[in-house]
A and B are shown apart, each in its own frame.
Chain A
Amino acid sequence: MIEIVALVGAIVVMGGFAVFVGLAPEREPQRAQAADVPSDTVPSRFFGRGGEPEVIVEREPIAADAALRRLERHVRAEQVAVEGFLRLPSAENLRRRSASPLVN
């Protein structure tokens, strides 16, 4: 009986982990993949001049681009929020929340 409960528990935990991984941002599994490769199995100059796995380097521009888009939305939202303060300066208007994705 105890073995069956333990087995069911293990399946639930594994299932939960699988769901979690599935919901994680796209690039996270890629990082995990690269990090999971033991360093001693990757020749430092195999197909490249450096020792870093190329897959991470190639994904960076996409991630950086997404970060920049979020920064743009942040700046625009903050400017809108600040305009309210400039029209009517007060501590409350200065602290008024913006619609920025980075602070909400």
Chain B
Amino acid sequence: MAAAESSGAGIELFRGLSASQIAPFRPLGRPVRLTRGSSLFRMGDDALTLYVVRSGRIAFTMPIDVQGTSQDALVDEKGPGSLVGWSALAPPHRYTLSAHALEDSELSSFLGVELRAQIVLDPAAGVVVLLNLVELLGHRAQQTQAMWLRELQRTLDTRLG
């Protein structure tokens, strides 16, 4: 287990937890290795598992039509310490994009059902984990909103001059 992960430092989801609070979460993580280009999950799959990137880089893609053919276009990418697959924590537990390794990568996988059970078991730690999740999702939502508005602005500039 990487040093950052064993301490919990540098992992978005567990930021702010004490060593004793993070201890019960640690055995829930299982190592996953991906070679470059390997798929982690596909859009529409049941979101049973949440991942923490330990090394490497994970790309998120969504389908886009390029010259009449559907292609996977990059919409985001995450590196060490990042959370991947938060849909495993929130209903309807279905991945809304696809993920694959941009390079050889190592991750820790957590079953959503086990993580949720641990959050309920230790509410004090659970609140910290959920607040971290809110912060992450809030940041991603704001990022998406801002990017969307910039594209809207360009559309307006192009169409209306």
Residues of A within 8 A of B (CB): 60, 63-64, 67-68, 71-72, 75-76, 78-79, 81-83, 85-86, 94-95, 103
Contact = CB atoms under 8 A, between A and B. Distances in A.
A75 B77 CA distance: 10
26 contacts: A60-B67, A63-B67, A64-B66, A64-B69, A67-B71, A68-B72, A68-B73, A71-B64, A71-B73, A71-B74, A72-B73, A72-B74, A75-B73, A76-B74, A76-B77, A78-B150, A79-B143, A79-B147, A81-B150, A82-B143, A83-B143, A85-B146, A86-B139, A86-B142, A95-B150, A103-B154
Interface string B81-118: 00000000000000000000000000000000000000
A8 B150 CA distance: 50
Contacts of B75: 75
Given A64-B66, A71-B74, A86-B139, A95 B153 contact: yes
A82 B146 CA distance: 6
Interface of B: 64, 66-69, 71-77, 139, 142-143, 146-147, 149-150, 153-154
Contacts, number: 49
Given A68-B73, A75-B76, A103-B154, A94 B146 contact: yes
A89 to B, nearest CB: 9
Contacts of A64: 66-67, 69, 71
A50 to B, nearest CB: 14
Contacts of B64: 71
Contact of A86 (B67, B143, B154): B143
B100 to A, nearest CB: 13
A94 B143 CA distance: 11
Contact of A67 (B67, B76, B142, B153): B67
Nearest to A86: B142
Q: Which 8 A-B pairs have the closest CB atoms?
A: A82-B146, A64-B66, A72-B74, A67-B66, A71-B73, A85-B146, A78-B147, A75-B74
